[in-house]
Structure 1
Amino acid sequence: MPQVCVFPKDVASLTGHSYDGAKRLLQRLRRQLGKPAGSYVSVGEFCRFTGLPEQEVAAALR
């Protein structure tokens, strides 16, 4: 089953940011989307925010 949500450790490995930098990136994304703190961020939302291709991100998360 493919991974649907991204977590800070995933963002850190995909972008090369530190774990804390990945947490800040996800916080900015949640604020922009109007989501409450701690809510899940989908792979699609992350890809639209960063401009990364969703298929490549999904493949990297496997």
Structure 2
Amino acid sequence: MKTATTRLCIYPKDIQRITGKSYRQSIRMMQNIRKELNKLQNELVSIEEFCQYTSLKYEQVEPLIVG
């Protein structure tokens, strides 16, 4: 039986799929989220932090994130 894998962090490709923006704009959005949350460049952004930043609901975002 295969278990469903879920991720805690979000990547630019996910943001691209969710927002419809280009890959480069998705990278910029992640940089802005990190800057606003006072995170370092190498720290990951969680899906919940992305949802708070964009005011999207987790339930809407979760199906669009691929394993």
TM-score scaled by structure 2?
0.86
Percent identical residues = 34
Which structure: greater strand fraction?
Answer: 1
Corresponding residue for residue 14 of structure 1 = 18
Bigger CA radius of gyration: 2
User: Distance between the aligned counterparts of 1:9 and 1:56, measured in 2?
Assistant: 16
User: Distance between the aligned counterparts of 2:43 and 2:14, measured in 1?
Assistant: 16
Match of 2:50 among 46, 49, 57: 46
AA of the residue aligned to 1:57: V
Which structure: greater helix fraction?
Answer: 1
Q: How many residues align?
A: 62
Question: 5+ residue gaps in structure 1?
Answer: none
User: Segments of 4+ in structure 1 off by > 6 A?
Assistant: none
Corresponding residue for residue 57 of structure 1 = 61
> Conserved in 1, the CA contact under 8 Å of 2:17 and 2:64?
no
AA of the residue aligned to 1:45: E
The answer on 1:28 being equivalent to 2:32 is: yes
**What CA RMSD, in Å, does the superposition of the two structures yield over aligned residues?**
0.9
